Amino acid sequence: MSDLYNGLRQRLEQEGGWPKIYLFKFIIPNNNHTLAQTEALFGPESQVSLTQSKTGKHISVTAKELMISADEVIRRYEKSSEIAGLMAL
């Protein structure tokens, strides 16, 4: 796992209580390709909501999903980093 996520991993492990529902938030460019890639990060059991920006240039993606461990959350963020234009919040 990347050193980039060590701080996040430490915070998640301190919180404990795994498995638990985790909230992911992303901002993506408003185009079908990026939206499809982002939605593909989450399974059918996830609750995903989309909100378009006022200008229509971006979409806010919020997803709630049951995650088994802090490492699983980190893997999801690593996978999301491969999507061009995606910003994790």
pLDDT in tens, 30-82: 999 999 999 999 999 999 999 999 999 999 999 999 999 999 999 999 999 99
Q: What is the C-alpha to C-alpha distance for residues 72 and 6, in angstroms, rounded to an integer?
A: 13
Q: How confident is the model at residue 16 (pLDDT cuts 50, 70, 90)?
A: confident
In degrees, rounded to 5, the angle at the alpha carbon of residue 88 between the alpha carbons of residues 86 and 89 is: 140
Is pLDDT of 84 > 60?
yes
Domain ranges of the chain: 3-88
Is CATH 3.30.70.260 what the domain over 3-88 is classified as, yes or no?
Answer: yes
Is pLDDT of 1 > 60?
no
Q: 9: which 2 tokens?
A: 């991993």
Q: 27: which 2 tokens?
A: 């901002």
CA distances from 48 to 26, 30, 62 (A): 11, 16, 6
